[in-house]
Amino acid sequence: MKAIAVRPGVPNTVHLAELPAPKVSDIPNGRGVLVRVLRVGVDGTDKEINAAEYGQAPPGYDFLVIGHEGFGQVEAVGPNVTELKPGDYVVATVRRPGSSIYDLIGTNDMTTDDTYFERGINLRHGYLSEYYVDDAEFVVKIPPGLKDVGVLLEPATVVEKGIAQAYEIQRRLRVWKPKRAAVMGAGTIGLLATLVLRLRGLAVTTFGKTPGPYLNSDLIEALGATYQSTEQLSIIEGAKKYGPFDIIFEATGFSPVVFDSMQALGKNGVLVLSSVTGGDRRIEIPADKINLEFVLGNKVMVGTVNANREYFEMGVKDLAQAEAQYPGWLGRLLTDPVKGLENYEELFARLTNPNGAIKVFCEVA
Ligand SMILES: [Zn+2]
């Protein structure tokens, strides 16, 4: 079968690879699920893997099949699979267990291991192929009513985990009734964070760079949230106007925003950090002021990465609620379909030069 792959460690090697089609029996415990891939989203991670910034081939291969935002349909299941059947729509999780205590209790998103096993990212092939097989434990069912937007589930799980963690942490307050939230960044993750916080009933202000109106600011306003360009009002001034913020979700990919966000956070608030910043940028910050306000205001800051099965299941419920509450909104994020695995060059061209694109994805079948 065909697949889109890279040669890890060598920049710009994205190519069409040929490999044997997987079988249900590749999973030895009778719990195999063979999935025909329908759509796969791509994002900055795929771009960075192709730039050889990270990613390793699975043992025995000199290439890595990329793609971690999969959506497909079950083709066949092993004899011990009762929860899925051929024809079901599914999305598979990304990370596979290592050996830390967190992996052993089913929370491999919290691993303390140094090696990650991640489909399409590190040491495991991804989903940009005609088929894949996996253990049913990692395959999540999607209701048919969400089949047109199911490819958004994996990016949504990043948001689900961050927000669920924030609520979990805030149980420290005995009573927490958050009213106002801010989202830093208006890309795919920022848009999905705005959605999930609106579904939780919060007043949301989303900060982006570009002055509106444009598609992303229109989408934010369609949720009843406020869009604010940081070129017109700084985050700290914005907090005076729209805050105080009980929760801030940071998803800009630009680390200085973290320190502005710390200052924009209200008393007893929680700041969720989700940007992966691989550089070594240095900035000057008002350290005493930030520290003092964190101490006197009982504030919390938490980092979040990856998502395990429970956040995929939460994501399914939120996508369903979103379709009921804001019909058609999720579909508007799917701006850039690219037909066929063989058009991998176009897929990467759109990813590298987004030109207003929100979600770039491959229509595999
Ligand atoms: Zn992703």
Every domain of the chain and the residues it spans = 2-149+334-363, 157-303
Residue 233 has pLDDT above 90, yes or no: yes
**What is the CA(43)–ligand 1 centre distance, in A?**
5
pLDDT at 138 (0 to 100): 97
pLDDT for position 354: 85
Distance, in Å, from the CA atom of 75 to the CA atom of 133, rounded to the nearest integer, reads 10
Averaged pLDDT, 169-186: 97
Determine the average pLDDT of the residues in 147-153.
Answer: 98
pLDDT in tens, 284-308: 999 999 999 999 999 999 999 999 9
| Cα 258 to ligand 1 centroid, rounded to whole Å | 21
Measured over the CA atoms of residue 16, residue 19, residue 23 and residue 29, the dihedral's sign is negative
| CA 292–ligand 1 middle distance (angstroms) | 36
Q: 264: helix, coil or strand?
A: helix
Query: Domain spanning 2-149+334-363 has what CATH number?
Result: 3.90.180.10
Q: Give, in degrees to the nearest 5, the angle at Cα 223 between 92 and 174.
A: 75
Calculate ∠ Cα 362-363-365, nearest 5°. 135
Instruction: Tell me, in angstroms, the distance from the centre of ligand 1 to residue 332's CA.
Output: 18
Would you say 310 and 107 are in contact if contact means Cβ atoms under 8 Å apart?
no
> Mean pLDDT, to the nearest integer, of 260-270?
98
- Ion ligand 1 nearby residues (CB, 5 A): 43
How many whole angstroms from 246 Cα to the centroid of ligand 1?
Answer: 27
Q: What is the DSSP secondary structure assignment for residue 177, as one 8-state letter?
A: -
Statement: residue 101 has pLDDT above 90: yes
Q: Is 9:52 a contact under the CB 8 Å cutoff?
A: yes
Tell me, what's the pLDDT at 111?
97
Between the CA of 68 and the centroid of ligand 1 the distance, in Å, is: 6
Query: What is the average pLDDT across 253-262?
Result: 97
**Whether residue 17 has pLDDT greater than 90:** yes
Say how many Å lie between the CA of residue 63 and the centre of ligand 1. Answer: 19
The DSSP-derived string for 100-158 is SHHHHTT-GGG---SS-EEETTBEE--S-BSEEEEEGGGEEEE-GGGTTTGGGHHHHHH
Mean pLDDT, residues 58-74: 97
* Predicted pLDDT of residue 279: 86
| CATH topology match: 2-149+334-363 vs 157-303 | no
- Looking at every residue in the chain, the average pLDDT score rounds to 97
User: Mean pLDDT across the stretch 219-247?
Assistant: 97
pLDDT tops 90 at residue 134: yes
Residue 236 confidence (pLDDT) above 90: yes
pTM tops 0.75 = yes
Query: What pLDDT does 21 receive?
Result: 96
Q: Are 261 and 194 in contact (CB under 8 A)?
A: no
Residue 96: predicted pLDDT: 97
Position 278 confidence tier, pLDDT thresholds 50, 70, 90? confident
Which pLDDT belongs to residue 42? 98
pLDDT at residue 56, rounded to an integer: 97
Cα 85 to ligand 1 centroid, rounded to whole Å: 27
Question: How many angstroms is it from 94 CA to the middle of ligand 1?
Answer: 9
Please state which CATH class domain 157-303 belongs to.
Answer: alpha beta
What pLDDT is stored for residue 355 in this prediction? 87
